Structure 1
Amino acid sequence: MKILLYFEGEKILAKSGIGRALDHQKRALSEVGIEYTLDPNCTDYDILHINTYGIHSHGMISKARKLGKKVIYHAHSTEEDFRNSFVGSNTISPLVKKYLVSLYKKADYIITPTQYSKELLQGYGITVPISAISNGIDLERFKHSEQKEEAFRAHFNIKENEKVIICVGLYFERKGIIDFVEIAKRLPEYRFIWFGYTPMYSIPKNVRDIVKGEHPENVEFPGYIKGDIIEGAYSAADLFFFPSHEETEGIVILEALASKQQILVRDIPVYAGWLKKNINCYMGKTQDEFTLLIQQIINHELPSTEEAGYATAKEKSIEEIGQELKEIYRKVADVNNKSESVVHQGNSY
C-alpha cells in the first residue's frame, strides 16, 4: 500500500499546528511500515490523504478520481476555528464553511483530530464516514533535557527563582491572546512568554496593537522559535497556560503534556474525553478563575497533574497514531477491493 500525503502550501503552514501534523503523519507511517510519497505528480499510489484546503485541493481530488484512487480528507479545519483569527474572518466564515463542506464531501473517508470536531462536521450535514484520530505527539522530542532547558533559560536570561508562564500559538483572538495579556497585568510578579508568529497585516488591529507594544512589561512576544529553546521552555517553565476559545485538538497541548508540564486550559468542549479537569490538567473559564489557578499552581497549592498528563500524551504517541491510520487505510482500501470484486463477478456472467 502506498499513500500520497498531499499538503498544499507546506512552507506557509510549516509553523502552524497543521504543519506539525504532516510531520507526525510521515513519522507515523514510517513507524508502521507504510510507504508514502509527497509528490503530487505521483500516480502509483493507492490512497490520496489530503491535509489542506487551498485552491489546488479540488484539482488533486479530481485527478485522484480519474486515476481510480480512494480519497481520505484530513479535516483539520472547521468554521468554528476559522472565526476570530484573521482580518475579516468572522465575515467570511459562513463561506469558508460552505467551501470546507464542498471539499470534505468529496472524500471516501474523513479523519479529524477529536470527537468534538467529528461532531461539528456531522452537524454540517456531512455523511461521509468520519473517524477521530489525534494528530499525535513525538514523545522522544519532548523528553526532559537539561541542555534544552538551559538553552531556554540563557536565551531569555531567566533568573533563579523567576516564575515563567508560557503559551504557544498564532496571534489570534481565538487563541486567547487577550486574556493572556490581561491576566499578566494582574500578576506582574510572573513572566509571561507567548511563542508563535502571525504576519501583522493579517490580524485585526486590536490584536496587532497588543503584540506591537500595548502589553505590560512582564509579557514577551519573541515570535516563532523552534528547536532546543522552545522544547526546553515546555519543560522548564512553571506553567503552560493555553486560554484558547476554540480548537480542533491543540497540538501544543500534547507537546506540553509530553514535556511533563503543568497545563491550564479554558474549559471548552474540544477537550471532552481526553483532558480531565484536576486530573491531567487544570481548567478555568473566566479571568478571575485563571488568575487564581495560576497562583495556586505556581505556589504548589494544587496537586501536580504532570504524570497523568504524560500518560495521556503516551496514548497519543506517534506509534499509536500510526496503527490507527493503518487501520483506516486498510478499511478504505478494502472497500475498494470489494467493489472491484463485485464488478469482476458481474462481468463473468
Structure 2
Amino acid sequence: MTVHLVSETEFGSQGMGIHTAHRDLIGLLSIGKSVDLKVNNEGVGDVFHAHTYGPYYFLKGLKYKGRRIHTVHTIPATLKGSVPFFRFVKPFADLYFKWVFNYADVCIAISPEVERTLKELKVKSRIVRINNPINLENWRFSENKKKTGRSFLGINENEFVVLGVGQMQQRKGIEDFIDLAESMPQFKFVWVGGRPFGKLTEGIKRIDKRIKNAPSNILFTGIVGLDEMPNLYAAADVFVFPSYQENSPLAPIEAASAELPVIYRDLDEYKSLYTTAHLKASSNQEFKEQICRLFVDENFFSEAKENSRQIVKQFDEKYILKQILDLYNQLFDSQKW
C-alpha cells in the first residue's frame, strides 16, 4: 500500500506544530517501511492523508474520493488571538473549515476538544480520535545537546533558563511571557517562534512594541529549524506554555520528552486531553510562583520531571502507529475492486 502525505508547510512556513506533526508522521511511517510513501508532488498513492487545509489539499485530494484522511490540527477557535477581527472572521471560518472537514472521508481528531468541535459543526465525515505521535528518542536530553543548545543561544552554563515555544501572537501568550521575564530578572528567558501569518497576526504592532522594549534577560530567536530544536529544549531548565487556546500542542510534549518540567496554562482542553498530572497556572503570578519554586525546591523539580515522563507515555508512537496503519488499511480495503 502506498500512502500519499500532503502538507503545504513543505513549501511555506515551517515554524508551526503542523509541520512538525507532518514530518513526525513521515518518520513514523518510515520505521520498518510500514507503507510506501509519496509526499506532496512525488506521485500518487492508494490512500491520501493531509495535515493542512489550503487549495493544495483540495487539488491533491481530487483523485482520492473515498480514501481521503485529514488530521485536524486547526479549528475555528484556533484563529482567536491569531488573526485580527476574529469576531467577524469566525462565521466564514466555520463555513470554510466545515468544507475542509467534509472533503475528507475520515477526520482524525487529535484531542477531545477537536472531536467536540467537529460534532458541533455537524461534520458528516467519519471522526476518529488519534493522538499526535512523539518520537521520544529524538527529543531525549543529553549533556551534549545542552552544550550545543546553550552555545547556539549564547547562554552560559550557570544561567537558569525558562523556555517558551510558539508563534509570536497573542493566543500563544507571548506577552505574558514577556511580563514574566520582566518580573524575574534573575532568570534567562528564551522564546522560540515566528509569525506564519505575517502582518495578518493579531496585535502585531502592540506585540512588536513589547518585544522592542523587552528586558535584556529575554531572547527572541525567531523560527528555528526542527533539527536544532532538541538542542534548545536540552538547553533549558523549565518550559512554560502560556497559550490561551490549544488542541493537542506538540511543543510541551516535546519539552516533556526532554524531561523538562512543563508549566501549562490551566485550560479545560488539557483536563480532557491529558490522563496524568501536570503543572498548571491560571495567572502570571501563579506561573511566577511555580518557576521560582522549581528553582529552589529540588523535590518539587524532581516531581515535575516525573510528571513529564508520565505524560509522554500517552503519545507513544508505537501504539499510535498501529492506530494509523489500521485506519489506512480500512480505507484501502473498502476501495478494493
TM-score, normalising length: structure 1: 0.87
The corresponding residue for 2:55 is 55
2:174 counterpart residue number: 177
How far off its partner does 1:226 sit? 3.2
Could you tell me how far 1:269 is from its partner in structure 2? 2.4
Q: CA deviation at 1:9?
A: 4.2
Q: CA deviation at 1:109?
A: 0.8
Summarize the Cα distance change of 1:275–1:236 in structure 2 as closer, same or farther, 3 Å threshold: farther
Measure the CA separation in 2 of the matches of 1:184 and 1:40. 44
Alignment of 1:7-18 (within 5 A): 7-18=7-18
Q: 251-260 vs 264-273, which deviates more?
A: 264-273
The corresponding residue for 2:234 is 235
Mapped contact 2:275–2:314 kept (Cα < 8 A):
no
Question: Is residue 139 of structure 2 the alignment partner of residue 142 of structure 1?
Answer: yes
Equivalence for 2:115: 118
Secondary structure at the aligned position of 1:74 is classed as strand
Give deviations 1:276-314, integer Å, cap 9, x for gaps: 67x3x2101112211111111222262522233223324
Which residue does the alignment assign to 1:4? Answer: 4
Deviation at 1:190, TM superposition (A): 1.1
How far the C-alpha of 1:160 sits from its partner, in A, is 4.5
Is the 2:9–2:19 Cα contact (8 Å) retained in structure 1? Answer: no
Alpha-carbon contact 1:27-1:318 (below 8 Å) kept? no
1:71 paired residue number? 68
Residues 223/41 of structure 1: CA separation in 2 closer, same or farther (3 Å cut): closer
Distance 2:268 2:330 in 1: 29
Percentage of pairs with the same residue: 25
Distance 1:41 1:218, change over 3 A: closer
Residues 209-252 of structure 1 show CA distances to partners (whole Å, capped at 9, x for unaligned) of 223x1212222112122367532231331200010011121111
More displaced 10-residue stretch of structure 1: 51-60 or 235-244: 51-60
SS at match of 2:94: helix
Cα displacement string for residues 37-57 of structure 1 (whole angstroms, at most 9, x for unaligned residues): 1144734x2211122111233
Flag as ranges the 4+ runs of structure 1 deviating above 6 A: none
1:326 counterpart = 2:310: no
Conserved 8 A contact 1:84-1:174 = yes
Q: Deviations over 1:178-227 (max 9, x none)?
A: 1111122211111111011116533221122223x121222211212236
CA distance in 2, matches of 1:176, 1:276: 24
2:330 and 2:159 mapped to 1: Cα distance? 52
The answer to which of 124-133 and 15-24 deviates more is 124-133
Q: Which residue in 1 is equivalent to 2:269?
A: 270
Task: Tell me, in whole angstroms, the C-alpha distance in 2 between the residues paired with 1:76 and 1:92.
Answer: 18
- Structure 2 stretches lacking a partner, 5+ long: none
Question: How many residues matched?
Answer: 331
Residues 286, 147 of structure 1: CA spacing in aligned structure 2 closer, same or farther, 3 A cutoff?
Answer: same
What is the CA–CA distance in structure 2 between the aligned matches of 1:168 and 1:286, rounded to whole Å?
Answer: 18
- 1:261 maps to what in 2? 260
- 1:42 paired to 2:43: yes
Tell me the distance in 2 between the aligned counterparts of 1:326 and 1:123.
28
**Structure 2 counterpart of 1:291:** 288
Of 297-306 and 240-249, the range deviating more from structure 2: 297-306
TM-score where L is the length of structure 2: 0.90
Q: Distance between the aligned counterparts of 2:305 and 2:127, measured in 1?
A: 32
Unaligned residue ranges in structure 1 (runs of 5+): 341-349
What's the counterpart of residue 345 of structure 1? Answer: none
Q: Deviations over 1:103-132 (max 9, x none)?
A: 111221111211221111111111322122
Give distance in 2, aligned partners of 1:241 and 1:251.
Answer: 13
Alpha carbons of 1:228 and 1:28: their partners in 2 closer, same or farther (altered >3 Å)? closer
Secondary structure at the residue paired with 2:55?
coil
**1:159 Cα deviation after fit:** 3.3
- 1:56 counterpart SS class: helix
Q: Residue 310 of structure 2 aligns with which residue?
A: 311
**Amino acid across the alignment from 1:127:** K
Aligned-pair distance for 1:317? 3.2
**What is the correspondence of 1:187-198 to structure 2 with a 5 Å cutoff?**
187-198=184-195
Determine if contact 2:102/2:125 at 8 Å carries over to the other structure.
Answer: yes
Find out whether 1:157 has 2:154 as its counterpart: yes
CA contact (8 A) 1:117 1:270 kept: no
Larger Rg: 1
CA contact (8 A) 1:136 1:251 kept: no
Higher helix share: 2
Q: Distance in 2 between matches of 1:57 and 1:230?
A: 28
> Which position in structure 2 is the counterpart of 1:221?
220
